[in-house]
Chains A and B, each alone.
Chain A
Amino acid sequence: MPAAKSRSLLQLRLQRFRRIKRGYYSFLVLIGAYAFSFLLPLVMGNRALLVRYDGAWYFPMLRSYAYDTFGLGSSHIIPAGELGQTEIDGQAVPLGAEVDYRALQRQFAADQSGDWVVMPFFPWSPYEKIEQTGTPPAPPMPGHWMGTDTAGRDVFIRLAYGYRVSITFALVVVLVAYSIGTLVGAFLGYFGRWLDMIGLRLVEIWSAVPFLYTVMILAALFKPNFAILVGILSLFGWMTITYYVRGEFYREKAKDYVQAAIAVGEPHAAIMVKHILPNALTPIIAFAPFAIVGTIGALVSLDFLGFGLPAPTPSWGELLRQAKDSGFTKWHLVVFPLGMLFVTLQLIVFIGEAVREAFDPKVYSRLR
């Protein structure tokens, strides 16, 4: 008898997911774009990729150089402007201290000295005001395809960086919220009885706390940053999955394979993690894409209302707020952020649908 390749349920389901083309390609596009977004400074940014100066090589991507490194005066620094300092890849960098590589490029070209600078394709950072575009917000133009926002920053570049911020934020929130929800649900469903009775009531009470008011109050108390916002959204987002996980644990515990594990004296923790959890993952996996959609939506709304991520962070909701503040007269501030939001959420919904279909247990009931 030829030994056919043996597949676990998860493998079968992933195989099925790959066969649902729309969802699978959406997944590839979304994940591809997300992976690419970590390389964004190579394409969009005001740091040079490579500088050839005085016979030496410089890599401004890897480390910053003092503004006088290339023998230029203090005029060749990026003007501090109204932004003061910002965060680039997790580091607080005063904007004024960065060499203006675009100016350096022009200077080298004028000097005819044989030195040169390679800039990213879009040589502007998402944080800087672009002077030559005129009074912000400027409409789309060559080189700035989506125009600039009310602070004169390139909308396209901010949207692109905003994608990384939004997806990272949503992934972290869903991970934290689902971890809390799974843990609580697992305990309630597994131990049941009075713990379940009291625990569920507490969860219900917690669900009744009005989310938006609480966020506004907390945002007024602390200046929200990424971690605080993740905390707040997770704290109000874990309840839904708790109910499902509790139900799964409740049902699976009564099954004989769990009883068999109890009969050999396996510790509770091992039963919960090794036996029940893998069989209770279906709702977690099936709901996660939709939770990510919801979290991105929540982040956009909070940014729109001004309770979101702190100011210079590239954010879709903030662009929409600018559109509203300008009385919706600047069409490019409405169409592009909304389009980006729509495409992203639609892709995730496609993924969610495919996952739900692939993980539908009824599909495989005939295999049992």
Chain B
Amino acid sequence: MSERPLNVQPAAETPAVTPPLLEVRDLEVHFPIPGGGFLRQSPHRLRAVDGVSLTLTEGETLGLVGESGCGKSTLARAILNLVPLTSGEIRFAGRSIGGLAEREMRQYRQQMQMIFQDPFASLNPRMTVGNIIGEPMQIFGLHPPRDRKLEVMRLMELVGLNPRFLNRYPHEFSGGQRQRIGIARALAVHPKVILCDEPVSALDVSIQAQVINLLTELQDKLGLAYLFIAHDLAVVRHIADRVGVMYLGRLVEVAPAADLYANPRHPYTRALLSSVPTPDPQRERRRERMVPSGEVPSPDRIYPGCRFADRCVMAAMDCLHSSPPLAGDDHQVACFFGWDEPRYQAALRQPR
């Protein structure tokens, strides 16, 4: 056996490309479906996430949109190791986190935190705010125990909570304040990436803006990267640098935010965008809407072709047989046609 030094650095001649902070490759999360009989599992799997690849660089915000049930939240939970991966790889700062030892896993966990959708379920009702925010510090042994209280108060101040509420319980706060507590808890371990799982969906619109602004401010101050999941396209447009669109467990389009909103290339993205209501009633009435026929199919069946094929106006025979890969440089789209405006217009005129 030849002696090989561990931790070989890449040779000097290879260009020093910094790997993206977070890289997800062909991630699949399938759930077994109950039924099938005694001691025998159903032959079907619920394919919540079915081959998603994405990257997130430092300080960037990647928005992730899609309907309910398209696998956005499962994707975030899989990245945090809260649900087991079926296959695929997650790399953080160039290192794969599959099979990491517990000690290294801790470091990874410290870099990556999550803000949850429901501010009522995400805080332990039996713990005071101080304990909720202080607990992650305690687990990672971040500050000397007697400084922790001060650090918690600093964090509360940072997220716009009165530090005097340190000893209050979650039920004494409003939804927006609770979400701030959740944000402070995520920040407590100084993470580099925060997975925001619909952080504002449960809030009133006026509060939504406050929380979004807080997240933007924190990003500027602390250089955080966000994976920002939402089903509200307007919210994502405001905060994201790049946007990914998910449909039935797959990414169908990823593009810089402005580009995606200006010229969507996937028929599903176009349908999604056309469903955003306009606040102006006159324009709202004139707005062109493209509603896909049918419903989202159940994610527990296997589709050989494009997931969107049976609802797509432009679908051809090819679409039913093979699945289009996500292709493109900056503006990636998973559609055989790219965007073909004449074909689209012709398809719209066809009686179906």
Contacts and interface: CB of A to CB of B under 8 A. Distances in A.
Given A6-B172, A265-B105, A279-B125, 7 more contacts: A8-B126, A8-B128, A255-B121, A255-B122, A263-B80, A264-B139, A368-B171
A29 interface: no
Nearest to B140: A264
Contacts of B110: 264
Interface stretch (B11-19, B162-170, B253-261, B267-275): B162-170
B1 interface: no
Interface in B282-315: none
A262 B82 contact: yes
A364 interface: yes
Contacts of B122: 255-257, 259-260
B324 interface: no
B126 A256 contact: no
Interface in B105-139: 105-106, 109-110, 112-114, 116-118, 120-126, 128, 135-136, 139
Nearest to A267: B139
Interface string A255-294: 1110111111110000000010011000000000000000
11 contacts: A3-B164, A6-B172, A9-B169, A10-B126, A256-B117, A256-B122, A257-B123, A259-B77, A264-B189, A364-B171, A368-B120
A265 B139 contact: yes
Contacts of A63: none
A7 interface: yes
B109 A7 contact: no
Interface in A109-141: none
Contacts of A264: 109-110, 113, 135-136, 139-140, 189
Contacts of A1: 162
Closest 9 CB pairs of A and B: A256-B122, A256-B116, A278-B126, A257-B124, A264-B136, A265-B109, A6-B168, A256-B121, A255-B121
B116 A9 contact: no
A29 to B, nearest CB: 30
Contact of B135 (A10, A261, A262, A278): A261
A9 B126 contact: yes
Contacts of B139: 264-266
A9 B167 CA distance: 13
A341 B89 CA distance: 67
A275 B124 contact: yes
A62 interface: no
Given A3-B164, A9-B169, A255-B121, A260 B185 contact: yes
A367 interface: yes
- Most chain A CB neighbours (cut-off 10 Å) among B110, B122, B124: B124
Given A261-B135, A263-B82, A279-B125, A6 B106 contact: no
Nearest to B82: A259
Interface residues of B, number: 36
Contacts of B128: 6, 8
Nearest to B129: A6
Nearest to B80: A263
Interface string A194-231: 00000000000000000000000000000000000000
B106 A265 contact: yes
Contacts of B116: 256, 259-260
B82 A9 contact: no
B187 to A, nearest CB: 12
Interface in B144-177: 162, 164, 167-169, 171-172
Nearest to A278: B126
A368 B170 CA distance: 8
Nearest to B131: A274
A256 B167 CA distance: 21
Contacts of B169: 6-9
Contact of B124 (A262, A265, A279): A279
A364 B117 CA distance: 22
Interface in B63-85: 77, 80-82
Interface in A334-360: none
B113 A263 contact: yes
A7 B169 CA distance: 7
Contacts of B124: 257, 261, 275, 278-279
A15 to B, nearest CB: 14
A276 to B, nearest CB: 9
A6 B167 contact: yes
Nearest to B116: A256
A204 to B, nearest CB: 16
A264 B186 CA distance: 9
A157 B243 CA distance: 81
A11 B123 CA distance: 18
A80 B323 CA distance: 96
B92 to A, nearest CB: 14
A340 to B, nearest CB: 39
A367 B174 CA distance: 10
Nearest to B115: A260
Contacts of B189: 264
